[in-house]
Structure 1
Amino acid sequence: MTNHRFRSEPGHARHDASFGGYRRPVRVASFAAAFALFALFLAWHASDDDEASPTDELPLSRAQAQSASRVPPASSISPASPATMQTAASDATGAPNPNAGSNAALAAAPRDDANSTDLVKRGEYLARAGDCMACHTADNSRPFAGGLPMSTPFGTIYTPNITPDPDTGIGRWSDAQFVRAMQEGIGKSGEHLYPAFPYTEYTRVAGRDLLAIRAYLNTLAPIRYAPPRNDLSFPFNQRWLMVFWNLFNFREGRFVPDPKMSPQWNRGAYLVEGLAHCEECHTPRNFMQGLKTSERFSGEVQAGWHAFNITPDKAGGIGNWSDDDLVRYLAKGAVAGRANAAGPMADVVENSTQYLSDPDLRAIGVYLRSLPPVAGGATRARDQWGKPADDVTRLRGTAIAGVNGAQLFLANCATCHAWTGRGIGADKPLAYPSLIHNSAVGALDAGNLAMVILHGVSRKTKDADVMMPAFASELNDDEVAALANYVTRQFGDPRATLTAADVAKLRVRQP
């Protein structure tokens, strides 16, 4: 954009310096005062409105829950076939139809179709793809009833009840209100939803798919439960400020298939950029907490957990993973010699990706491989580090003084991971994973390793119930730091080190 500089004519110099110079500050000051009064009015009005509707927020996927209960599946789901998944939301190429979410489509949708068994099944599948259950369940006895506390830099938000209860849930929401919330970030009463809720991604989802999700939610048992009120500090509890955030960080609009790409690529793009909202965790944030589009999918640290780089770079990302590796990881949460899902990613596998069909998982992989590779400073892949240990013989008969990482490893970890670090069980579903060629151990940031030591691992899939005990109550900060540093030095990237102060900060994070 050309920066035009205006010049005063010579004959007007005196006028600008005296008379004009006097009026300009007065006008600016008057405008500022008027704007301040207007802003105060809006703030008061928004605050008053917030009091009247405390539970209509949608979940913040970027925020991390302060306490989370594991939720059993709503039902036994058999992944739908690609043909079923694309019904009413796809064009002839197999890619989603951008016109499927139009207002005309909403108005014309037949009511008997909205209640059909096929639509509900498809909605259940899509709700799994969107990982709705994970955020909307704080108590296993109240599935989808909300109340999960989510910690943000601005305070705590409690997820809403999305069961069809008419008083505390979404039973009185119209289909149009539901779709508008998902695609535009506007709540039932016209209020702005907070931007960490992935409406920035859900905006790309076809309206027919959102109506399928709504049809499924309508079949849930209504639960009368009002989640706690949000606890956000001023001015972040003023919803009207989201207008400005959206101006810089939100582009509303449905996914448009790329005719130059294959139907499989378009399907993967539709899932990754839409319901699966992968960017919300794997893309760095700008100073406004919006996504840095220049560094898409290059990794981000959230609440102590590092969502790793998933671009196709061979050193920094997943460029050396095979197609089968990607599918296995998303379906089972573990790939021997590569990675084992823990923390928030274990929740994603448990509640979402393990239920996706093989064609959809492979489509996700096709799309991820097409992204621009980002090395992020990495020169060696995370899963290419490590060698077997022999400290058990070196320490035999040796007097140990102070905090010793090798001794801590043998005392706390060797039973399951073997004293060599090779693990037990190879690639069996219930194997104790090897620490050699392990992406969490080989990462330059040892935060995930420390979080696993502190908080353990819990991951339930259709073929395995994986559990690693937490050691937060067994080891102090110095001991966790020494243990983590030993593991990274022996089995991972030796440059990844932690101090006791680093561990203390991670200890209070959500597991």
Structure 2
Amino acid sequence: MSAASSTNASAVLNAPAVPTASTPATAPSLSSMASAASSATAAASAASANGTVASAPAGPGGGADEAAASAALTDANSTDLVKRGEYLARVGDCIACHTADKSRPFAGGVPIGTPFGTLYTPNITPDPDTGIGRWTDADFLRAMQEGVGKAGQHLYPAFPYPEYTRVAERDLLAIRAYLNTVTPIRYTPPRNNLNFPFNQRWLMWFWKLFNFRQGRFVPDPKQSPQWNRGAYLVEGLAHCEECHTPRNLMQGLRSSDRFGGEKQAGWHAFNVTADKAGGIGNWSDDDIEHYLATGVAAGRANAAGPMADVVADSTQYLSPDDLRAIRIYLRSLPPVSGGQMHARDQWGRPADDVKRLRGARVTGVDGAQLFLANCASCHNWTGQGVGGTAPLAYPSLIHNSTVGSPDAGNLVMVILHGVNRQTKDADVLMPAFGGELNDDQIAALANYVTQRFGNPKATVTAGDIARLRKRAQ
């Protein structure tokens, strides 16, 4: 790759501005944002396009004109920085982990279950007493890039600083500028509830020794600017590995199976490598980008659980260029099969059990009867769904990644907790049946669905349902 290409890749990662969802992929320069200012201001803004500010030429107003130009430029720059920070906070999905109560955004308090106990996320509003209002920029950068808090304490890696360390300082400071503008909320989240010795923060020093490598993202000169942009997002702010990469005994990421899938809070974050059976290698480019933007890949997958939240809070707001960059990067990931030989979205056939049950006397717990009574009105008694590929369609259970998985856990979680996914295209709601059906009934229903429409080897017991019910959401 030529030196010019390498420079281009670096420029993609360090662009002066990141577009918001409503702006074009190439963000406006400071001069366009200050177009209403004087000609001296416009000249200064244009000169600052590469991060430097030229002195405005002296005009009839002398120093007064220069002062006005400087003030207008400062305002434009500040506005642009906050907008860019808001966009980047969306990329990082900060609101998901730091908002337990939607009436108190960014005030923290979200419980995060780990094998060692429960962590509660901190308040990151600018409240000076319970939030980060007294933090300096250096404090913020240290937390994000080194995993060290304001008081010098090691942070637990439920906070994804192993990925955030790769993010450029200018992008982190943009996020900081945005967080400074959110409403300060006086709220102290609950204390962490960790078992001994994991409640001893100093032990995180040893964890970091084996599982944390500090350092910023370095573009690969052999790859395209789009690939590098996608890698920067996926490996950095978007922290996709935190859910989609298996973990080792120390709960660090297992680099040998990157993006090969992992379980989180009872949900399976599926394999997103290029493997055609275990991953998304048989998805089209449009499938991947549309799924990230809407939560739907027609005929393949519908986002639920934590991934539905990621789409609703984060990826639907990404620019088309960034979605494309992420797709390009994901396409390049080495395939991880996970032992799967049959693609999750290639199972199933229409059912005709309604004929068998019509007029028949059913005794005991019958999965087909439960399906017809609770699911058929939306998913059709054949399992083929209603509405085709329309935004508000009820999805088919045939050729459905959740139903075709070798592990029926996600299907059970959907039955227990339902689906609530709000995007610009549609508000998707599936009711939760956890309070309506008992463990035996949900097991029978899930097994019927997998055997009729999905992977027949994916079976569950009432005991499995009871364990999944207990997982904190």
TM-score range (shorter-chain normalised) is: 0.7 to 0.9
Q: Secondary structure at the match of 2:429?
A: strand
Q: Secondary structure at the match of 2:345?
A: helix
Residue of structure 2 in register with 1:30 after alignment: none
CA shift at 1:155, angstroms? 1.8
Question: 1:460-471 to 2 correspondence within 5 Å?
Answer: 460-471=422-433
2:21/2:319 contact within 8 Å kept:
no
1:150 aligns with 2:112: yes
1:132 aligns with 2:94: yes
Aligned counterparts of 1:88 and 1:396: Cα–Cα separation in 2: 73
Same amino acid, percent of matched pairs: 77
Aligned counterparts of 2:206 and 2:148: Cα–Cα separation in 1: 14
Aligned counterparts of 1:141 and 1:299: Cα–Cα separation in 2: 33
Residue of structure 1 in register with 2:176 after alignment: 214
Q: Secondary structure at the match of 2:466?
A: helix
Residue of structure 2 in register with 1:338 after alignment: 300
Residue of structure 2 in register with 1:449 after alignment: 411
Aligned counterparts of 2:202 and 2:240: Cα–Cα separation in 1: 27
Q: Secondary structure at the match of 1:277?
A: coil
1:161/1:226 contact within 8 Å kept:
yes
1:188 aligns with 2:166: no
Alpha carbons of 1:80 and 1:227: their partners in 2 closer, same or farther (altered >3 Å)? Answer: farther
- The C-alpha deviation readout for 1:27-75, integer Å capped at 9, x for no partner, is xxxxxxxxxxxxxxxxxxxxxxxxxxxxxxxxxxxxxxxxxxxxxxxxx
- The C-alpha deviation readout for 1:156-177, integer Å capped at 9, x for no partner, is 2211111111111111101011
- The C-alpha deviation readout for 1:452-476, integer Å capped at 9, x for no partner, is 0111111100121111011111111
Question: 1:29-108 to 2 correspondence within 5 Å?
Answer: 78=22, 81-83=25-27
> CA RMSD of the aligned region, Å?
1.7
Alpha carbons of 1:207 and 1:446: their partners in 2 closer, same or farther (altered >3 Å)? Answer: same
1:329 aligns with 2:291: yes
Aligned counterparts of 1:452 and 1:251: Cα–Cα separation in 2: 36
Q: Secondary structure at the match of 1:482?
A: helix
Aligned counterparts of 1:482 and 1:246: Cα–Cα separation in 2: 45
CA shift at 1:84, angstroms? 5.9
Aligned counterparts of 2:277 and 2:296: Cα–Cα separation in 1: 20
1:80/1:122 contact within 8 Å kept:
no
Alpha carbons of 1:259 and 1:83: their partners in 2 closer, same or farther (altered >3 Å)? Answer: farther
- The C-alpha deviation readout for 1:96-119, integer Å capped at 9, x for no partner, is xxxxxxxxxxxxxxx958971011
Following TM superposition, where does structure 1 have runs of at least 4 consecutive aligned residues deviating by more than 6 angstroms?
none
Between 1:140-149 and 1:435-444, the stretch displaced more is 140-149
Question: 1:58-457 to 2 correspondence within 5 Å?
Answer: 78=22, 81-83=25-27, 112=74, 116-457=78-419
Aligned counterparts of 2:219 and 2:319: Cα–Cα separation in 1: 21
1:79/1:355 contact within 8 Å kept:
no
Aligned counterparts of 1:114 and 1:137: Cα–Cα separation in 2: 30
Aligned counterparts of 1:307 and 1:142: Cα–Cα separation in 2: 28
2:269 alignment partner AA: A
1:78 alignment partner AA: S
1:450/1:503 contact within 8 Å kept:
yes
- The C-alpha deviation readout for 1:430-486, integer Å capped at 9, x for no partner, is 111000000000000000000101111111001211110111111111111111010
CA shift at 1:88, angstroms? 7.6
Q: Secondary structure at the match of 2:162?
A: helix
Residue of structure 1 in register with 2:36 after alignment: none
Alpha carbons of 1:404 and 1:510: their partners in 2 closer, same or farther (altered >3 Å)? Answer: same
1:355 alignment partner AA: Y
CA shift at 1:82, angstroms? 4.0
Aligned counterparts of 1:157 and 1:329: Cα–Cα separation in 2: 30
Q: Secondary structure at the match of 1:384?
A: coil
Q: Secondary structure at the match of 1:241?
A: helix
2:344/2:405 contact within 8 Å kept:
yes
Alpha carbons of 1:385 and 1:181: their partners in 2 closer, same or farther (altered >3 Å)? Answer: same
1:418 alignment partner AA: N
Structure 2: which 5+ runs fail to align? 1-19, 30-48, 52-72
Aligned counterparts of 2:339 and 2:244: Cα–Cα separation in 1: 16
Match of 1:502 among 460, 464, 469: 464
1:296 alignment partner AA: R
Residue of structure 2 in register with 1:480 after alignment: 442
1:314 alignment partner AA: K
Aligned residues: 414
1:459/1:467 contact within 8 Å kept:
yes
2:21/2:318 contact within 8 Å kept:
no
Aligned counterparts of 1:216 and 1:168: Cα–Cα separation in 2: 18
- The C-alpha deviation readout for 1:211-261, integer Å capped at 9, x for no partner, is 000000011111111112222222111111000000000000000000110
Structure 1: which 5+ runs fail to align? 1-75, 90-110
Aligned counterparts of 1:496 and 1:163: Cα–Cα separation in 2: 44
Aligned counterparts of 2:232 and 2:246: Cα–Cα separation in 1: 21
Residue of structure 2 in register with 1:33 after alignment: none
